[in-house]
Structure 1
Amino acid sequence: MSELEDDNICEEPADTNRTLPGVANFATFRDQVCLAQKQAQTELTELDKHRNIWTGLVQVVVLLVAGSWTDRAGALKPCILVPIAAQSLSLLYTMLCAVYMREIPLEASLLGADLMVAVCGGVPLLIAGIYSYLALATEPKDRTFRFACAAVSMVFFPVVANFFSGFLFKALGFIKLCLVCLVFCAASLLYGLFVLEEPKAQSGEDSATVESEKRPTEGGLRSLFDYRLVYDSVKVILRRRDFNKRNLLWLTLLAFFINFGALSDAGVAANLAISQFHWVTSFGIWRSYDLATTMLGTLLAMGVLSKRFGVSDAMVCVFSICFSMAAKPFMAYAVTHVVPNLYYVATSIDVFEGSKTIATKSLASKLVSENEIAKMLTLLGIVESLQVTIYPSLYSVVFLASQETVIGAVFWLSEGFLLLAFALYIVLYLLSRRSASEEAAAATGTEPTGPATQSSAKQGIDNPAVDITAL
């Protein structure tokens, strides 16, 4: 029924005289469509509460082991290829479930596909592997350029894919569209297996470090079950550090975790766009617009605020949160009063959304030594996976409880998380300035007399390994 796209059929009055080709009684047809749509949305939201918990916990365990194992074994290709292979198997399983959709329950199809990907690390492990590979295979002077190319590629292709997704879905159908995705996954997997080579350390010191860390992992895959791998990752945030940096590190991880609480309304926002606005192809267009504006806004924030004017990482996060807080009320009003154009208005306001993640990663990287950056990024990936077990389920519960009264309540919940994150980043800004001032004073052998300057405090994003990774 492509004629119903972007059509608020459920808003038609009971005494409407509207007709549709092939429909004998429009009122009865409308009631059936609206009831089925509401039931489908409720069932999917209810299922999301459970599957996000299981997949998130599995990913946390895998990342705890994989991050340290990769550093010890010096093998980065598995971190890239294993998630791609898992995604390919997941697509095959999804196609099988679509063929036998009346025999296989929804719970089995969704949970099975998600667990296949989660048990192999999923997207967090894939992205960590890509940037670790680039960091090890590239000289420092060329690293920023390659990171930028990778980041732009990872954002550009989803923009294009989302734009055409609705049209392709209508033209090909679900199974053929999954087959197209499978072709891309297979091509990536074959390239990684037969063309991509393991990177080599660029300096003799790095080579010696890699060799020394590979010795404890003799025994191949059995080393994956070494409990010391978990301890190696966790001890990064446990050991004592000068100038109050351990407490700053904990606070940064907390702020990073709370930040995802404000971002987790995206799934419900997508479901509401489809159910309230009846978007199909229009949803793909809006999603592409959202990704494109976020990419441009993030590049602007990083290039102008951080690089050009030297604004501190914590203040970049505060700047981004202010725009996000202004956008959420527009989203709530849009779904409550069925005004689709306000989704575009909210997206246009919240253009700096992606800069929070980049700046937080940069801030965390400056609190650890260089040989701990990879483990620190892995811990941030663990936090990213852990939040999946909490926030999506929380938003699902809130949505199910409020859909009959205040359907936009999820966006006000997101606003609350933004306020909490705003306070945390303000505290981080003040404490990081004090820590930088004490460190600068210790380096010069004088007492701290005031706020640290930009040259001594290293407030801007200056670590190429995390400069642009959150795009």
Structure 2
Amino acid sequence: MTATVVPARRRSTFWDDMTIEPVVACYMTAFTLITLTVSNLNLQKACKVNLRLASDTCEALVTKGAGSSAADEVAVQRLVAGMMMWQTCAQNVLPCLVMLLVGSWSDRTRKRVPCMLLPLYGELVRNAGQLLCVYFFDQLPMEAAGIAESIPLAVTGGQTLLTMTAYSYMGDATLIKNRTFRIGGLNAVMAISMALGTSLSGIVYNQLGFYGAYGLSSVLIIIGLVYGLLFVEEIAPITVVNENKSFKTTLTEFFNFKQVTESLKTTFKKRPNTQRLKIIVLLIILMANAGTNNGYRTVSYLYTRVQFNWTEVKYSIFSTYELTVNIIGLFLQSLFIVFAV
């Protein structure tokens, strides 16, 4: 009698378990790929359209050529910085409300994929709006480009909503024993994608211009959308709560502001010992950290242009080095936590 040999089961790898990582990678790469393109569009709009400086002067400012003037650079940047103030408010205040609505609706219906793909639609609309501002360059002022950049990202949640829903999906899709590994892999995908997009941002703009940069970013977003729609499935089963609902009913449930107030009450409700105080302190620390990081990211490119006379290529090299150091630091921190525990 011949014994049946059962083949050894191959151990599951990161690639076998991959679900939402390509969506996140496409979005993060596309988002960071055009950061310097957006900044240069604002600078050129401010110079040529708002301030109506000579074309040669504006070209010299952008390329840091021999004819560039420090006084003109400061005047242009002052105008751009003024616009960035209300842009920052719009891109951070509106997503807070969006996330409260989306988070509550997603938790009640257990639908993560539509919420995860929403920022990709916003990014696609943003790119289309920016391309219109490039096409009608002399007709549309800098503020039009600012609105086209900020509003689509703000009303669709942007990077913050994508990150939140990605973590929620990962929590639903993984077992406790491999959740740390999967979330670590997701963080690595985010970091590598941002580093890749940042390192290429200056080169892409320098070589391809506005149309090429926004076009390449849009292609990445479309790839992420197609993958998400075709290959990413909901984890939670369909229940009585979320099946066979009309669009009107779904819309009414989504804009249920009572759930927003309930979320806020849950966050700040009384808890045993000092748990509520700890939550409040953590929120304050998070706000301070996010505020300083956002402020730095907003003006760092403008600062290096004035202080070091850098072009977008030099700044992208610096940003790549900075992100690489941060990734190494996060890796060492993870090792320390593992061995410390």
TM-score by length of 1: 0.55
- State which of 256, 271, 283 in structure 2 corresponds to 1:241: 271
Which position in structure 2 is the counterpart of 1:425?
none
Tell whether 2:300 aligns with 1:290. Answer: no
- Report the Cα distance in structure 2 between the residues aligned to 1:290 and 1:211, rounded to whole angstroms: 47
Which position in structure 1 is the counterpart of 2:194?
158
Q: Is the contact between residue 304 and residue 315 of structure 2 (CA under 8 Å) also seen in structure 1?
A: yes
Query: Counterpart amino acid of 2:266?
Result: V
- Report the Cα distance in structure 2 between the residues aligned to 1:251 and 1:111, rounded to whole angstroms: 34
Which position in structure 2 is the counterpart of 1:300?
332
User: How far apart are 1:307 and its partner, in Å?
Assistant: 2.9
Unaligned ranges ≥5, structure 2 = 1-55
Deviations 1:211-261 (A, max 9, x none): 58759x982121112122202321222222112211111121112212234
- State which of 236, 242, 259 in structure 1 corresponds to 2:289: 259
Tell whether 2:178 aligns with 1:142. Answer: yes
- Report the Cα distance in structure 1 between the residues aligned to 2:179 and 2:121, rounded to whole angstroms: 27
Q: Is the contact between residue 90 and residue 150 of structure 2 (CA under 8 Å) also seen in structure 1?
A: no
Query: Counterpart amino acid of 2:213?
Result: L
Matches within 5 A, 1:396-407: none
Q: 1:89 to 1:143 in 2, by over 3 A?
A: same
Query: Counterpart amino acid of 1:246?
Result: R
Tell whether 2:302 aligns with 1:271. Answer: yes
Matches within 5 A, 1:301-380: 301-304=333-336, 306-310=337-341
Q: 1:176 to 1:197 in 2, by over 3 A?
A: same
Question: Once structures 1 and 2 are overlaid, which stretch shifts more, 268-277 or 106-115?
Answer: 268-277
User: How far apart are 1:34 and its partner, in Å?
Assistant: 3.0
Which position in structure 2 is the counterpart of 1:41?
77
Query: Counterpart amino acid of 2:250?
Result: G
Deviations 1:84-121 (A, max 9, x none): 01101110110110111110111011122210111011
Which position in structure 2 is the counterpart of 1:181?
217
- Report the Cα distance in structure 2 between the residues aligned to 1:32 and 1:309, rounded to whole angstroms: 54
- State which of 124, 141, 156 in structure 2 corresponds to 1:120: 156
- State which of 157, 165, 168 in structure 2 corresponds to 1:129: 165
Query: Counterpart amino acid of 1:258?
Result: A
Which position in structure 2 is the counterpart of 1:75?
111
- State which of 206, 227, 234 in structure 2 corresponds to 1:191: 227
- State which of 103, 113, 123 in structure 2 corresponds to 1:87: 123
- Report the Cα distance in structure 1 between the residues aligned to 2:156 and 2:317, rounded to whole angstroms: 31
Q: Is the contact between residue 91 and residue 178 of structure 1 (CA under 8 Å) also seen in structure 2?
A: yes
User: How far apart are 1:49 and its partner, in Å?
Assistant: 1.2
User: How far apart are 1:262 and its partner, in Å?
Assistant: 3.2
Q: Secondary structure at the match of 1:108?
A: helix
Identity %: 24
Tell whether 2:91 aligns with 1:55. Answer: yes
Q: Secondary structure at the match of 1:242?
A: coil
User: How far apart are 1:284 and its partner, in Å?
Assistant: 0.7
Q: Secondary structure at the match of 1:243?
A: coil
Deviations 1:4-41 (A, max 9, x none): xxxxxxxxxxxxxxxxxx99xx9xx9565433322221
Unaligned ranges ≥5, structure 1 = 1-21, 201-206, 311-471
Which position in structure 2 is the counterpart of 1:437?
none
- Report the Cα distance in structure 1 between the residues aligned to 2:186 and 2:279, rounded to whole angstroms: 27
- Report the Cα distance in structure 2 between the residues aligned to 1:227 and 1:168, rounded to whole angstroms: 43
Q: Is the contact between residue 87 and residue 117 of structure 1 (CA under 8 Å) also seen in structure 2?
A: yes
Q: Is the contact between residue 90 and residue 113 of structure 1 (CA under 8 Å) also seen in structure 2?
A: yes
- Report the Cα distance in structure 2 between the residues aligned to 1:76 and 1:89, rounded to whole angstroms: 21
How many residues are matched?
A: 275
- Report the Cα distance in structure 1 between the residues aligned to 2:287 and 2:68, rounded to whole angstroms: 41
Tell whether 2:138 aligns with 1:102. Answer: yes
- Report the Cα distance in structure 1 between the residues aligned to 2:253 and 2:240, rounded to whole angstroms: 15
- Report the Cα distance in structure 2 between the residues aligned to 1:199 and 1:274, rounded to whole angstroms: 47
TM-score by length of 2: 0.75
Larger C-alpha radius of gyration, 1 or 2? 1
- Report the Cα distance in structure 2 between the residues aligned to 1:57 and 1:267, rounded to whole angstroms: 16
User: How far apart are 1:268 and its partner, in Å?
Assistant: 1.8
Q: Which has the higher contact order (CA 8 A, sep 6+)?
A: 2
Which position in structure 2 is the counterpart of 1:222?
252
Q: CA RMSD in A?
A: 2.4
- Report the Cα distance in structure 1 between the residues aligned to 2:202 and 2:68, rounded to whole angstroms: 24
